[in-house]
Amino acid sequence: MLRTVGLIMLMGLLGACLNSENEPTENLPEAYAYISFAAETATRRERARCEAAGGEVRRDGMAGWEQCIQIPPDAGLSCSDSSECADRCMVVGEFAEFGMATTGQCSSSDSPFGCYQTVEGGVAEPAICVD
């Protein structure tokens, strides 16, 4: 019972962290879509869907749940806002000062975990660590 409640809370928290900026935009190839799994371990069907999309199933994050990790089609392209990317527009290398005008690159992986700093409207957002 506690595991089910914990799972529901975690899914709600992850859902709250995602927003329309993390969804594919109209100008991206239709083949790319963020793929998530319903539980700690991917089902055969979920694993097949991930691999068919070019993703890799691996354990990620502190909880170690299986995730479908993909390389977005625009990885490494210059950007000034996450709306220009399939995933996120991120500062590359050293973190920039919060509020500083900067450009970034579209993320090289759609893993939601790790420490990173996004660029929104050409401005560096606060750096965060997600695990």
**How far does Cα 85 stand from its chain's mean position?**
11
Give phi and psi for 69, each to the nearest 5. Answer: -100, 120
User: How many other C-beta atoms lie within 10 A of the C-beta of residue 115?
Assistant: 10
Q: What pLDDT does 19 receive?
A: 36
Q: What pLDDT does 32 receive?
A: 84
Mean pLDDT in consecutive groups of 10 residues from the start of the chain, 131 residues: 36 37 44 90 97 95 95 97 96 96 97 96 97 90
